[in-house]
Structure 1
Amino acid sequence: MAAVLADLARRWGTEPRPTAPTTTLPPASARARAPISADQAADEEFLLQVLVNKPGALDEVVDWLRPADFAGHGHGHLYRCLGALHHRGEPIDQLTVLWEAQLRGLLTDGTLTVNRLRQICGGLGAGSAEYLGERIMRSSIVRTAAASARAIGELAGNEALAPGRLINHALHALGPLDEVRARWQRATPSRAQAWPPDPPARTKRAGAALARSYPDLRLHSPRPSPRPPGNPAPDRR
């Protein structure tokens, strides 16, 4: 998508540069907020249980997992509490997490309740934090991609935007997705690979689309006109 937008910018005669739109739009997180599935909620709660009850589990995910990757209500705030305790070098257990949540006002503003906090952190916490963190990251990538798509769709529906500004605003909307994908590659260095090149079939489709859009540009050599019936082939000697 970014490569297509950069190509369109050069065709329009401008330099592709991500530019934030001047119009006030709701944040990407608000546009991306969708009902969380039961499996996703279970994964997030299970990971929080592991991080609270398993010593050293936070070290497996703290470098690449962020509070914004959590979709469940209050889960991201609770993960931020764990990160603060880890950053200060304090012990992590149910009591210290409850105290940190209270200091941050999560219990007074209704983000979390004591019963809800005990329900999330009261499990055994036996599992792999890295594995659960990767599952949450995959869901975060999908939500972020959906948010970028919605933002670009909203911009494309604004007929007052010139093509150059539309392209640069669309590149800006892809920024959060690039950030999440970069963290995913950091979390899975052995499996993350560079984005594969376009397959030949996709390249042919792109050429056909450009030929339809720009009739004067022929990306392929014209086929020879069929020989009228009855005319013999020219003597090639």
Structure 2
Amino acid sequence: MFKQFFEPESSTYTYLLGCDKTRLAVLIDPVASEVDTYIAELESTGCKLVYTMETHVHADHVTGADLLRQRLGSKSVVHRDAGAMCADLLVTDGVHLIVGTLDIEVRHTPGHTNGCVSYVCGDKVFTGDALLIDGCGRTDFQMGNAGQLYDSIHQKIFTLPDDTKVYPGHDYHGRLHSTVGQERLHNQRLGRGRSREDFIALMSELKLSYPGKIDIALPANQACGRLS
């Protein structure tokens, strides 16, 4: 079972993965404002939510992890370096989460933030804000590091098979997914054989605006979505 949700204000994708046999499910990067939508989908498919899995501590929206934990008893998952010690499960690189017949591998992909992870499940990789479609996450705050992001993507994502489907944390142009092969060859920031040095220089020259919700989102997400 697989479903992709879209929250338009922050252009965020959330992903539901479920085991057809056991009806156990996970949500990757849930948004607080969309919790009722997720619960309706879980109820309609007869699924029990086991985990909410964050790719990182978000600066542009508030996670739904705490609300879902309160309402459904799900457990929140973040990387141990994410700065959200409130999580029920702090994971590290190489950990496998088994949910029914699903095997979800955690790959630490820091650089956008130091606690970023990508989740690999079968022929899919959920890259959060590390690797976007034809782009990547910014590296100028939350302990971002352009060289580290370059290494993460090349070592942990671009080493996957070419036909692995890439599902990012955001897209601002209506695109749903890409593939590892497509991004390795054609990504404007990281593909086309771009060197590590050129990537670092490119990222240092970006003039990006301050995230509008960061002052609300970061403290809330470091508390697993609690606003007070």
TM-score, normalised relative to structure 1 = 0.24
Structure of larger gyration radius? 1
- Greater percentage in strand: 2
Greater relative contact order structure (CA < 8 Å, 6+ sep):
1
Higher helix share: 1
Query: What is the TM-score when the length of structure 2 is the normalising length?
Result: 0.25
